A = this chain, B = another copy of it.
């Protein structure tokens, strides 16, 4: 089951966990300089090494199909826009994927629901080992894995945890955490990678350092921070709720009513309402929705996934906002 179709550990605070490994194949230029022949050869090598993965020709996919893959975090925004030959290998539950000819030749990704750093890491390592035996990685004893961007040199690993932190955001404690994280080689960002602001109180906590540290040390450090954030978020939620339960119930139920009854809902408004309802469900205010359902609608209400699943072509904003409202009415 994909991360967004599953209930998982600490799902009240952690939406998903992702491990991404950047790898390049020896004797080929980096992706931006790679010609079609080279790209084709690498794709073939990956194909013959991996079993149980479906090969998707990313260039053959429509704009809306590629956007939907981004919304599901299966491909990166960069890969969505690629003009050069690119292939995506994805396993049947969409937990594991390999992007070929993204910024690096290979981007191995394991994305798991909830708080699952070790699980995701093991899964990514298994794919990495398989590929390593079929391909010859570009590797230096001094620098570690060679990557197109120097910020990935070393382990080539980005471990990230997507956290839902509405209570900490509300109390402004988050800014303090964020600056502390920077000091220990971790970073906190909005939902869809660098530069994007936080929507729906969702933050990505990940490592910013890939050199001079092992993968295991990185994960251990991240794990410690995530545990601390989970505990702090839970305590803060409880404190806010018990200090004024009426206001919290009112906010949650109003958002629920709007989500169920509105005739049109924009993507941004949806995220705000979704956040209220998730908080309400996690606090036990709303009983008939669980985190699994919330993950499903979170992805299902995203613009491209919504259009794709509805079978409609490209539509106006109004049309899409109406489809979103219809979708939510059916789901909730």
A326 shortest CB reach to chain B, Å: 12
A257 close to B (CB within 8 Å): yes
- B residues in contact with A257, CB < 8 Å: 257-262
CB A269 to nearest CB in B, in angstroms, measures 11
In terms of DSSP, what is the predominant structure of the interface of chain A?
helix
**Contact between B261 and A253, CB atoms less than 8 A apart:** yes
Q: How far is the CA of A262 from the CA of B252 in the complex (A)?
A: 8
- Chain B nearest CB: distance from A22 CB in Å? 45
A47 at the interface (CB under 8 A from B): no
Give the docked Cα–Cα distance between A42 and B246 (Å).
51
- Tell me, yes or no, whether A322 is within 8 Å of chain B by CB: yes
Least Cβ distance of A128 to chain B in Å? 49
Inter-chain contact B258/A246, CB cutoff 8 Å = no
Interface positions, chain A 256-311, Cβ under 8 Å from B, are 256-264
Would A258 and B254 count as touching, CB distance under 8 A? yes
Q: Binary interface profile of A, 18-55, with partner B (CB < 8 Å = 1, else 0)?
A: 00000000000000000000000000000000000000
Q: Which residues of A contact B (CB under 8 A)?
A: 246, 249-250, 252-254, 256-264, 318, 322
A-B contacts, 13 listed (Cβ < 8 Å): A246-B263, A246-B318, A250-B262, A253-B262, A253-B263, A254-B261, A254-B262, A254-B263, A257-B257, A257-B260, A257-B261, A257-B262, A261-B261
